[in-house]
Structure formats: structure tokens, C-alpha cells
Structure 1
Amino acid sequence: MFGNLRMVVPLKQIRPISVIMAVLTTLFVLLPTQSATLASGRTTGLSEKHLYKLDINWPQFPENFTGEVFGVAVDSVTGTVYIAQRGESVPKILKFTEQGYFLQAWNTSTIEMPHGIFATNVFPETSLWVTDVGNGKYGHTIKQYSPSGKLIQILGTPGISGSSLNPLQFDQPAEVFVSRKREIYIVDGDGGLNNRLIKLEKGFGIDWIKGEKGDKPSQFYIPHSVTEDNVGRIWVADRGNKRLQVFDAETGEWIGAWTSCFKGDGPSSVRLTQDNKYLIVAQLNINRVMFLSAPPIGDIGVCHIVDTIQLSDDVKPHLVDVSHKTGAIYIAEIGAQQAQKFVPNDRK
């Protein structure tokens, strides 16, 4: 009866009286809304058994979220989940285990307004990369930290926005992705001067750069998220143009774009599932997370929606990340001021 319910209540609304009562309350309150969704035909062609389900026990103590949650990153090797949040007098980074236990809060003054975060664990180095869109003396930069919050290095020119490549400057860099080869992909900017995709070599030299403001191939309007698939393609959430653009990781050559899946809202985040079968795409303004079939090597074809998670109104999913150990998906939600965990539906 309730197999297709995908509306999700923010965790802060679930009191720790009884997990069973929370689930029953969620189903009872949201049943009319979901029935309307089914009647509208929005789930036509989607799988009857959904790919992921909400883990209502994560985190163990949601009151640790004290600000607006903008980003989430998973270190799959250590089982650590990092949360980036904004707000006055709140720690900018929170650390949890994948089981939901709170570990640490960073009260660093070197992060002004975190936007995107990415965790790397390439032996012997474990670190966290944070994009900072603030306008103060540390803003418009990408910073690398140790797991305990020690600042390791800064990419960009702190406190100065710009488009220069020498010295390297950013203007509101949205997200960073570090490949297994330690190559760095950056989407710059979240509404600033720049609309570009930059690839840095392992030694931080510029390998190639694509983009300017526009809606033609290799142009962007608010490039917001970036990831690499398992066949050497770079996927960019071109949010303002309501499309995903795809590039060759080695050469930067434009491969294609998907637009037909984004009529209602542009993509704000893109990642791949643990098994590389699906692209996970968040749509902030319509409170939805989609799963798109990941195309095989070669022509990307057209996008095909396999499944969706329809979140409650005003949850506003911003960025997502995936545990490559457990397959769990973590969603940073600005409106709900929390992060939520979804697990593959064939697991408890």
C-alpha cells in the first residue's frame, strides 16, 4: 500500500519518542499528497520498488545541526561523513560516523561561507576540500584540511575574487571533485563572474579549462556540481541552463548534454551510485532527487529517469554524496537545515 511513498519529513520534526510512531505519523500525514502525485502521472515509467529508502535513525542526534546545511562529503574508507553548514556562531564543519554518531565540530575561523565539500582518501593522504564563497579575507578559495580541521593549503587568491589563471583566482567556486588520480575538477562559480570548469593536475597546474557564460556547448550559467564516472567522463550540473554537460576527462572535449529531464528545475548536484549504474541528481527548487541511467562508454544518448525521491516542500536538497563502501546516499538540505541518509532498498 505504501510502496511508492517518497515524501520525507525533516529529521528535526521527528521526536525520539518512538521510531514506529514517527514512521506511522509520516505515512498518515503525507498519504493525500502522495496520492495526488501518483494521480498526476509523475511516477509513470518508474520502478515499483524504489532504489533507496530513508534511514530514519541517521544521525543519532539531529540536534547537532545548528545552521544551514550546504554540503556533505563521505570518506568511505574511514566511514566518516562531513557536513558543511552556515550561520552565525555555528561550527562550519560537523563530523559523523556512517552509523550516525557525532564525532567532532570544527570551529575554524578560516572558513567563511562553505558551499561544496569533498573528502579524499588516497593512501597515504586523507583530507577534506572545502569551497568557500565568502567575501572576507579567506573567501573565494578552495581549501584543503586534515580530518581534524588543520588547514593544509589554499587554492585561489584569498579574499580577492577574479578570473585570473596566474595567479589563480575564483569567484564563488561552487564545488570541487578529486579523482583517484588526484586530478582536481572545479566548477567556478556559484553566481559570480566566472562560469567555467577547470581541471588541475596532481601538482595543481592547470591541465585544461572550459567555459564562459552562455547556453551553447561548453558554456555555462551557474555550474554548480561536478563528478567523474567510471569511463572517463566529467559530468557538470549546469544549473542555470537546466542541463547536465559531459566532457572527456583527459582532453576536456565536449561530449554532449542532457536537457529533457530538467524541465521543472535545473540540477544542483550530480554524483554516481556505488555501482555506477545511475547518476544521482538533486533539484533544489522542486525538492526532488532523481536517478538517471548512466550510459555506457561512447554516445551518452538521452537521459532516462529510473526513480525519484520526492522530498517534503521547502527541504531544498543542495548537494549530495555517496558512500562507496555501503552505497548510502547523503543529502545536504538547506531548507530543512539538516542532512539525511538514504540506503539501498535491498539492505536494512
Structure 2
Amino acid sequence: MKLKSSICISAALVSLALYVLLHSDGKHKVRVKSILDFLSPASPQLYKLDAGWPRNPASIKGVPYDVAVDHLNSLVYVAQRGDNVSKVLVFTEDGYFKTAWKTNTLDMPHGIFAVIDEDIKSIWITDVGQGPYGHTVKQYSPSGSLLKTLGTPGIAGSRLSPLQFDQPADIFIKGEDEVYIVDGDGGMNNRLLKLTDDFSLQWILGGNGTKPCQFFIPHSVAVDDMGRVWVADRGNKRIQVFDTFLGEYIGSWDTCFLEDGPYSVRFTADKKYLVVVQLNISRMLFLAVPPVGGIGDCNVVSTIQMADGVRPHLVDINVRTGSIYVAELGAEQVHKYVPC
């Protein structure tokens, strides 16, 4: 076990060194001193950087905001922003560029989520733009054809009938009939919605504030297998957890986020850890997931300190291989971390 751990640590350091060499000029400039801070000496290292992903970093010409993994077809979808760039790029799991969507129905993608099983294949994107397609949550085919739009395109609002959003940040779909949306990147709504399979409202929580069930810029949402909804309450520097059935408050974590709020919530493939990134301090945390019921106190099991200015935003997990993909605003790149 000690030998495996040492090999993993060495490989992680070599990977970061390669990262520095590969991205030492232009917009990907990083500081070599960050190598010294790459690993937390007090915690085990669970993941290491795959410095060869993507194979051609220049294929990402915009700023990637989120990433979604299709584990059945070994594909990775990257949602990016920028002038004269495709808003969604598709890569193979090995990091080779495959295709770019040609859709013109996206203003500013924020969150992206892949619904992949044997019968249903679709890509959901939250659009925070101020243009004619913004303030919506949209469903696309894997090739980029628009299938469905939730919200009122181009109009920010709080109404539930017809449904309106104000820069919805993230979506998570569980099973066949549970749709969760955090609506609050614009600061107006600060709410969590649960929709049914026909997209009618089942329950809603929120309001701007610091009390339980209130939010300040809810940024990411995920659901575990124990009937709990996890929300990155970014502005309040905490994670709140609710029951999926009625939306009842279970608990919150804030002691892990004194330096910067949580930007992502996703579970590792083995469901043991919650993966959280902190954008302003370029850090990725692995938090122990408690068993069914109350969540107790926040427990950081491992950390990865990225280079200064990388600014990780949102992540996704390959549930088959365990790999983690991180969309980075500062580095303007997506990077892959693999289990040690």
C-alpha cells in the first residue's frame, strides 16, 4: 500500500511538471511554485493529473465552463464560451477531439449534464446568457439538435407558470422522473426546483438568505443514492442537503469552506467522496460522504492544490473509470484526473 501511494505521488508530481511545461506560455501560464503546493501533505492522494488530456489543448478555443461524461459511449462534452467558437465540443475519453456542435441556440452555456442509458440519450445545458436564448435549460440530442426548452427564452423572471429562470446554474437528472435545477447564478431567484418527468413542479426551496433552505447563488446540484440532494450554496460558503421526497432540510457543511465557497458537487464513481472545487483558490476537495440519514460534520479526506490562477469551475465524473474532468476558467482548459 505504501509503495502504491509513493508511486501515485511521484506520478502526480511528474504530471504537474509536464503540465507546467506544456502550458508555460500565453493564456495557460502557470506558476512553477505551485508544484510545491500540489499535494496536501496531511492527506492521502486519491487522484493524479493526466497531463496528456486533451491530446491537443488548442482544440479548446473558448473558455470551458462545464463538462459532461457519456460513459457508455466513452465521450466527453465540453461547454465553452467565446466569440466565434462552437458552444459544445465533443472529445473521446482518450482526449482526441471528435466534433463540434453547430447549434446557434445557445447564448452562454453554464452547466452541462449527460443523461445516458440504454433507452435515453440527451445532453442538458443551462444557458445564463442575456440574449434571445438565455435564462433557459435546454435538452439536446448528442449531436446538438435542440429537443426541449424549459423557461422563457431571453426573459429573466421568477414565475412558475409559465416557468421562468434567472441564469440557471446547473441541472441534475436522477433516474427517469427526477429533475433538479439550481436557479440563481443571476442572483434574483436563489432557489432549488424539483420537476417531475413531465417537467411539472414537484417542490421548490429558496429565497435569498443565510437560513436553512435559503441560498445565495446556488451553483451546482447532485443527488446521491440515499435520497439526498446536495447543493453548492456558493455565496454562503456552504453545502446544503435536502430530502429528495419533500425537500426537507437535512443539514449543511460550512467548516470546509472558510477560504472560498463550493462551486461544484459531484460524487466519485464509488460514491465514497463528494468532489468540490473552489474557484478562487484553485483547489479540489474530496469530502467523505456519510451513510444514509444525517450528514454530520464536513470531513476533508484529500485535496489537490492546482496551480495559481487555474480557477476550476465545474466537474463531472466518469462512473465507469472513475476519472474526473475539470473545466477551468483561468487556464481556459479542461483537465482529467485519474484514480491513483
Provide the TM-score with structure 2 as the length reference.
0.91
Tell me, yes or no, if structure 1 residue 333 matches structure 2 residue 332. no
Kindly state the Cα deviation for residue 189 of structure 1 after the two structures are TM-superposed: 1.3
Corresponding letter in the other structure for 1:43: S
Query: Residue 206 of structure 2 is aligned with which of 199, 206, 211?
Result: 211
Match of 1:264 in 2: 259
Corresponding letter in the other structure for 2:40: T
Corresponding letter in the other structure for 2:22: I
Equivalences, count: 326
Kindly state the Cα deviation for residue 144 of structure 1 after the two structures are TM-superposed: 0.4
Q: What is the alpha-carbon distance in structure 2 between the residues aligned to residue 46 and residue 6 of structure 1?
A: 19
Match of 1:14 in 2: 22
Match of 1:241 in 2: 236
Gaps of 5+ in 1: 16-25
Corresponding letter in the other structure for 1:208: W
Match of 1:46 in 2: 43
Query: Residue 167 of structure 1 is aligned with which of 143, 162, 170?
Result: 162
Match of 1:78 in 2: 73
- Secondary structure in 2 matching 1:240: helix
- Secondary structure in 2 matching 1:269: coil
Corresponding letter in the other structure for 1:115: H
Q: Are the equivalent residues in 2 in contact too, given 1:185–1:198 (CA < 8 A)? A: yes
- Secondary structure in 2 matching 1:285: helix
Q: Are the equivalent residues in 1 in contact too, given 2:17–2:35 (CA < 8 A)? A: no
Kindly state the Cα deviation for residue 110 of structure 1 after the two structures are TM-superposed: 0.3
Q: Deviation above 3 Å: which 4+ runs of structure 1?
A: 1-13, 32-35, 42-45
Query: Residue 248 of structure 2 is aligned with which of 236, 246, 253?
Result: 253
Provide the TM-score with structure 1 as the length reference.
0.89
Match of 2:99 in 1: 104
Gaps of 5+ in 2: 1-5, 24-29
Residues 19-72 of structure 1: CA deviation (Å, up to 9, x unaligned) = xxxxxxx9xx84x5454x49xxx936412xx10011111111111100111010
Residue correspondence of structure 1 range 52-131 to structure 2 within 5 A: 52-131=47-126
Q: Are the equivalent residues in 1 in contact too, given 2:178–2:196 (CA < 8 A)? A: yes
Q: Are the equivalent residues in 1 in contact too, given 2:15–2:51 (CA < 8 A)? A: no
Q: What is the alpha-carbon distance in structure 2 between the residues aligned to residue 161 and residue 6 of structure 1?
A: 47
Q: Are the equivalent residues in 2 in contact too, given 1:329–1:341 (CA < 8 A)? A: yes
Identity percentage of aligned residues? 54
Match of 1:225 in 2: 220
Residues 118-165 of structure 1: CA deviation (Å, up to 9, x unaligned) = 000133110000000011111100000001100001000001100000
CA separation of 1:6 and 1:275: change in aligned 2, threshold 3 A: farther
